[in-house]
Amino acid sequence: MAAGTEVEPFASEAPFRVAEASRMLTPALMIDRDRVHHNIATTLRLLGGDPNRWRPHVKTAKLGYVMRMLAEAGIHQFKCATSLELSVACQAGARDVLVAYPLTGANAGRVREISERHQSTAISVLVDNESQLAQWRGSSVSAFVDVNPGMNRTGVPEDQADAILRLAASIASCGLRFRGLHYYDGHLSKYAMAERCKQAHPGYDRLMCIVQMFATLGIEVTEVITAGTPAFPCSLSFPGFSKARFLHRVSPRTVVYCDTTSLAQLPEYKYVPAAVVMTRVVSHPAPGMITCDAGHKTVSADAGVPTCVVLGHPELEPLAPSEEHLPMRVADSAAVPAIGELLYLVPRHVCPTVNNFDDAVIVSDRKLIAVEPVSSRGRERPILI
């Protein structure tokens, strides 16, 4: 980003204004390439300039175009959740992809098929139960043990070290390569930063004890993955990871685009919003009210209301959306935006918002430079394996 960019991330919509906007259908997803570069560079700076320490989850990036930007910055290892994301990441130049989701049945068969097609990419999967192992026999995939740090979504509970050790041994006995441990502590997002790290570090201590138990048994843990966006600073400040013999990687993902949530979680790092939804004012339904064409089928409402912030317009308060309508309250005495006026929304949760669009408008230096497909949105056709 150019020097002099505003410190307040919601201060101006200017970077997204392009001459072609008046001819664009709304709502539209806009991604500023320069700001994506800035956010990638910011993350790498926090990691001491080492791109090998970042394993971003591509469920945020979603576009092969942006995955290629990450690869061009030296980031070749990713996480994903779906077979479509895996395919797009492989095509974008990924050398190492972890499918960070428990797979069974036809879903596992599809990943085996993709791994056979992309043999130059190291593909691994998560396991948290021995019943998941037989389906990978004879395949080229490797496996991470998923450790549950208290989020209670997937994984072996972190206080069951013996079960984690047994599962790793079972991975090896099935002829699969044991890669390491996956530890996603996303539940810590509910805490303020100081308390977040106070909660995170004892868990990391327990994780280090588990790794030491592996070493005692002569089992090598080559990689440990922690920290989505909320716990990213906690992993950076944990001294055990910087001194470890294993490769420690973090997996913040929303930092690529940044939404209002991630910007609030990491206020000191000067990240900026790089993906917005351009919307038009379509109605003045009541005094001091406007409605835009950006309902919850456009800007995801999964994180609650308000679903977004309006760039450059602190006087506008987004209210509860319906499917295609986003009403806003206009502060007293403020000018009411005209019908037809364009507004630019930073989502509260950018990942599912990007997933709502088939295509994204790519801008740079206030110029439209491309229209790119959101190539890993949704899922593959429900084909039979």
Chunk the chain into consecutive blocks of 10 residues (it has 385) and report each block's average pLDDT, rounded to whole numbers. Answer: 59 95 97 98 97 98 98 98 98 97 96 96 98 96 97 96 97 96 94 93 97 95 96 96 95 97 94 98 97 98 98 97 98 94 98 98 98 97 76
Residue 378 falls within a domain, yes or no?
no
Residue 260 falls within a domain, yes or no?
no
Residue 80 falls within a domain, yes or no?
yes
Of 251, 284, 307, the residue at which a domain comes to its end is 251
Task: Assess whether 185 and 287 both reside in one domain.
Answer: no
- String of b and e for 217-226 (b: at least 16 CB within 10 Å)? eeeebebbbb
Q: What is the CATH number of the domain that holds 352?
A: 2.40.37.20
DSSP H or E stretch at residue 300: none
CA proximity to 291, closest of 323, 333, 334, 261: 323
Task: Assess whether 167 and 308 both reside in one domain.
Answer: no
Of 251, 280, 310, the residue at which a domain comes to its end is 251
Query: Considering the entire predicted model, what is its pTM?
Result: 0.96
Residue 337 falls within a domain, yes or no?
yes
Total number of domains in the chain: 2
Task: Assess whether 288 and 245 both reside in one domain.
Answer: no
Task: Assess whether 113 and 206 both reside in one domain.
Answer: yes
Q: Which residues constitute the domain of residue 312?
A: 20-28+268-373
Which tokens hold the place of 75?
A: 């980031």
Task: Assess whether 327 and 239 both reside in one domain.
Answer: no
Task: Assess whether 61 and 147 both reside in one domain.
Answer: yes
Task: Assess whether 203 and 351 both reside in one domain.
Answer: no
Task: Assess whether 321 and 213 both reside in one domain.
Answer: no
What integer pLDDT is reported at residue 8 of this predicted model? Answer: 82
Q: What is the CATH number of the domain that holds 90?
A: 3.20.20.10
Residue 15 falls within a domain, yes or no?
no
Residue 382 falls within a domain, yes or no?
no
Q: Could you tell me which residues come within 8 angstroms of residue 22 by beta carbon, excluding any fewer than 6 positions away? A: none
Task: Assess whether 146 and 217 both reside in one domain.
Answer: yes
Which tokens hold the place of 298?
A: 């456009």
Give the DSSP per-residue string, 172-231: HHTTPPEEEEEE--GGGGGS-HHHHHHHHHHHHHHHHHHHHHHHHTT----EEEE--TTT
Task: Assess whether 218 and 114 both reside in one domain.
Answer: yes
With tokens 């913040």, the residue in question is 252
With tokens 């909660």, the residue in question is 199
Residue 59 falls within a domain, yes or no?
yes
Task: Assess whether 64 and 196 both reside in one domain.
Answer: yes
What integer pLDDT is reported at residue 2 of this predicted model? Answer: 45
Residue 10 falls within a domain, yes or no?
no
Task: Assess whether 329 and 238 both reside in one domain.
Answer: no
- String of b and e for 96-113 (b: at least 16 CB within 10 Å)? bbbbbbbbeeebbbbbbe
